[in-house]
Structure 1
C-alpha cells in the first residue's frame, strides 16, 4: 500500500476576493513531488479556497492510487480541525466541500496535521501562482510553475540553517531523495497497564506489569491501523512484559516476528518504582528536585539518570539505523526512550523531555538519513484509538 503526503493551501486577495488554491502530492518515503495542482476560482473566501485546495490534492492522490494511505498537511487550523472531526462545520459554503473531501478516500486512510505557514511554501506558492494567472485573465499552467523549485530552495536553506545550529552542515545540494530512503522508526508506546491510569512510575526496576484489558485493546487497534498502512517491515521491542505483549499483538496483524532490543527498555526509577509523582515529592523532595534540575541526577536508590538513558538510546539508535537503513521498522518502547528519540532528533536540551506528553499506545515517527540528519514526522498520534 502506497503512502502519500498531500500539502494544500488556498488564498483570497480581499477575503472574499480573487481567490485560488494550490496542492501538491508527495511520495511519503522519498519526498518526491508526484503531482501539482492549482486553479484560479474567482471570488471566494480564504477558507473556501483552502477547502478547494484540499479537495484537489485528495483527488490527485486518488488518481495516483485509490488504495493509498494519505497524510494531509495544511497551515489552516480551521480545515485541519474540522476534517479531523474536532470542530463543527457551520458555514454553508464549506459544508459541501468538506463532505466531498471526506468521500475521496475512506476516512480511516486519511490523517490531518497542522503545520506552520513556512512549512507549507510549495502549496502556498502554487495558490499565489493561480491567483496571479487569474489577475492576467489566464489559468494556471504546470509548465510555467516554479513553485517546486522555490520550495526546494527554501527547504535547503532551512535545512542548512538547522544543521548549522546542531553543528552538522550538510551539502548545499542536500535533499532527502539525494540520500536514498531513510531508516524510518515508527515509535509505539506500549498499551496501558494497571499502573498507567494512576500515573505511577513504572520503569525497568519495578514489578514489570503486563497489559491491562484496555491496553490489549489499544494494541489491537494499533496493529489494525499499521496493517492498513502496510509500511512496517520489521518489529523490534523492549524486553519488558508490557512492550513484548504490545509488540506481539501488533506483529500478528502485520504477519511479522518480534525482535527484542535491550536498549529500548524504560529508565530504572529506583526506589520510586510504583509511586506517583506526588508520593515521590512527599517522600524524597530533595532527590526529586535534583532529578528535575540535573540530567545526571539519579532517582533515589540508584536508578538511572536521564543522561544515562540518553546515552543508551543514542547508542541503540545508531545500532538500529545501521541495521535497518532504508527500511521502516516499528519500535515498541516506553515513555522516556521515545521522548529521548524525539529530543535527540530535534537537538533539544534534556529539559525538553518534561514538555512532551506521550499517551499509552501513541505513535510517533522519526526518519534518519544517510548524512546523520533526522526528521521528526509525527508525535503522540492517538487517532487509531478513537
Structure 2
C-alpha cells in the first residue's frame, strides 16, 4: 500500500489578515516557519521517500523544513499552486464581498465564481494531475509528501477521489501546516486515511485562499 501526504503550507501574514493570496507569492511569517518545523518533526516519522512542492515560496519553504530532516531534495511542480483568484488577489475577504458581491455569494455557496477566478473543475484537474505525478515517485509501499495550498489541496483531493462538489463541501478547510493522508492499493484505489492532521489542532482555521 502506497501513501500520499497532502500538506498545506504554514501561516503567512496574508492568512492572518484574511487576505486572498491565490497565486501571489507570499512568504511564510515567523509563525508559519515554526509550524513547518513542528510539523516536519511529525512527518519525518513517516519516512517519506520523496517530497514535491508547489513552487510558491510559502509552500517551498514549508517543504524545506521537512527536507532538512530527511536529506531529500525537493521537487517543484506548478500544478500544485493555489487556485488563481484573479482580481481578488491582495484583497481581504471583506473587500471582496464589497467589490464583488455576486462573485462572493457564489464562492460562499460552493458555486463557480466566474470572472477571472480559476474554475473548480480546472483547479481540481490541475492539482490532481500534480498529486498523481508526485505519488508516482514512491516505490511500492512508499510515502510521498506533496506540499500545496488550502483550496488546491481540497479540490485536488476531491477530483482524485471523484467526489461531487456537494460532498467535498462537507470537509473543513485544512489548517496551516496540516495534512491529509491518502493511501492507495489495487483493490481499493485511493482512500482517505486521515484528514486535517497536524501539531496545532486547536488553532482557528484561516480561509483556504
TM-score (norm. length: structure 2): 0.85
Task: Find the aligned partners of 1:322 and 1:246 in 2 and give their Cα distance.
Answer: 21
Structure 1 residue runs without a partner (length 5+): 1-180
Three-state SS of the structure 2 residue aligned to 1:274 is coil
- In structure 2, the partner of 1:190 is 9
Cα deviation, 1:218-277, whole Å, max 9, x if unaligned, reads 0111111222x1421111100101001111122101221111011110001111112222
Three-state SS of the structure 2 residue aligned to 1:313 is helix
- In structure 1, the partner of 2:181 is 365
- In structure 1, the partner of 2:18 is 199
Cα deviation, 1:303-353, whole Å, max 9, x if unaligned, reads 311111011123223333333352201111100121124323554222444
Task: Find the aligned partners of 1:279 and 1:353 in 2 and give their Cα distance.
Answer: 26
Is contact 1:235-1:259 (8 Å) kept?
Answer: yes
Task: Find the aligned partners of 1:197 and 1:352 in 2 and give their Cα distance.
Answer: 28
Is contact 2:54-2:147 (8 Å) kept?
Answer: yes
Correspondences of 1:138-149 after superposition (within 5 Å): none
Three-state SS of the structure 2 residue aligned to 1:316 is helix
- In structure 1, the partner of 2:117 is 303
Correspondences of 1:158-307 after superposition (within 5 Å): 181-182=1-2, 184-204=3-23, 206=24, 208-227=25-44, 229-292=45-108, 295-298=111-114, 300=115, 302-307=116-121
Instruction: Summarize the Cα distance change of 1:226–1:293 in structure 2 as closer, same or farther, 3 Å threshold.
Output: closer
Structure 1 position 336 matched with structure 2 position 151: yes
Correspondences of 1:5-24 after superposition (within 5 Å): none
Three-state SS of the structure 2 residue aligned to 1:366 is strand
Task: Find the aligned partners of 1:198 and 1:365 in 2 and give their Cα distance.
Answer: 28
* Number of residue equivalences: 200
Structure 1 position 318 matched with structure 2 position 135: no
Instruction: Summarize the Cα distance change of 1:186–1:380 in structure 2 as closer, same or farther, 3 Å threshold.
Output: same
Higher relative contact order (CA 8 A, sep 6+): 2
Three-state SS of the structure 2 residue aligned to 1:357 is coil
Structure 2 residue runs without a partner (length 5+): 203-209
Is contact 2:50-2:137 (8 Å) kept?
Answer: no
Is contact 2:22-2:84 (8 Å) kept?
Answer: yes
Instruction: Summarize the Cα distance change of 1:353–1:277 in structure 2 as closer, same or farther, 3 Å threshold.
Output: farther
Q: CA RMSD in A?
A: 2.3
Instruction: Summarize the Cα distance change of 1:382–1:307 in structure 2 as closer, same or farther, 3 Å threshold.
Output: same
Instruction: Summarize the Cα distance change of 1:230–1:372 in structure 2 as closer, same or farther, 3 Å threshold.
Output: closer
